[in-house]
Amino acid sequence: MSSLNAVEATPVEQAPLSSAGAKLAVNLALASRMLSRDGHDDLNQGQVSGRLPGQDAFLIKEALQGFNEAAPGHMLSARVEPGERPHPLAPPELPLHQAIYAARPDVNAIVHSHAPHTLVFGATDLDLQPVSHDGAFFQGRLTRFTLTSHTVLDIETARGIAEALGAGSAVLLRNHGGVIVGKSIRQAAVLAQVLERACRIQLLAESVGVPYHTASPEDVRRKQDYIYSDSSLKAYWDYCVRLVKHADPEVRAW
């Protein structure tokens, strides 16, 4: 085995986590696996991160691991303040997460992926419509960032994305993918799947070549309150965890 392969196979060493931090690391790993099942894989690119409420540090999936192979030990600690030297295995797009956490005290989890339908939708100038329940959630909560499609390597670009996100739940990065935020990793991971499905369904509707209908504003409001309530999102998360445990038995030991 080469030295690089040895690094890839070894979880990142870090300071011991609190019980709450250890639980967060498990949930980040579960989120990674469920995102993989939903088609968010792009080699080892993409990140999930999460912080405990009120903290100035967070956990983020290290750079070498893909969503499909992430484990709790692959989550490393980073500071919200970008001045500190990052961990050598921190992902290159660490500034993206730092800028959003700094701008949004209400956000405790971030998903950034290159999910294909989200990426293609972001390359268009279409507005996301409530074609499905999924699209209904993002009405008034989805924006676009169009200044660059490159990897987010610097804090200035990252702050521009945070500004574009505003108070929303997600921002489409033109020709790059999507960034989805939540008050917990459970919420962010589920909503990342919801956004990918919403984009896929609308692109399908656009392809039929005839006009299509969308949900009324009143139905959109009712769907946001009922289908995407906190209790519903928890049930969706629990369902996704069951799927992951069935597909990847090793996670049952986490």
- pLDDT tens digits, residue range 42-78? 999 999 999 999 999 999 999 999 999 999 999 999 9
* Cβ contact 38:191 at 8 Å: no
Mean pLDDT score across all residues of the chain: 94
pTM value is: 0.93
Interval 82-103 mean pLDDT: 95
Number of structural domains found in the chain: 1
* Cβ contact 112:47 at 8 Å: yes
pLDDT at 246 over 60: yes
| Identity of the residue numbered 36 | S
* Cβ contact 185:109 at 8 Å: yes
Q: What percent of the chain lies above the pLDDT cut of 70?
A: 94
Instruction: Catalogue the long-range contacts made by 216-225 (C-beta closer than 8 Å, 24 or more residues apart).
Output: 219/130, 219/136, 220/130, 220/136, 220/139, 223/130, 223/133, 223/136, 223/137, 224/136, 224/137, 224/139
Q: Which pair of structure tokens corresponds to residue 167?
A: 């108070």
Can you give the pLDDT at residue 29? 98
C-alpha span between 246 and 133 (Å, rounded): 26
Can you give the pLDDT at residue 7? 42
Helices (H), the chain: 3-9, 19-37, 94-103, 116-123, 133-137, 155-165, 185-207, 217-226, 230-247
Can you give the pLDDT at residue 15? 73
Say how many C-beta atoms besides its own lie within 10 A of residue 160's C-beta.
16
What phi and psi, each to the nearest 5 degrees, are found at residue 15?
A: -65, 150
Looking up residue 211, the CATH number of its domain turns out to be 3.40.225.10
Interval 107-133 mean pLDDT: 98
pLDDT at 3 over 90: no
Say how many C-beta atoms besides its own lie within 10 A of residue 146's C-beta.
13
Domain encompassing residue 15 = 3-253
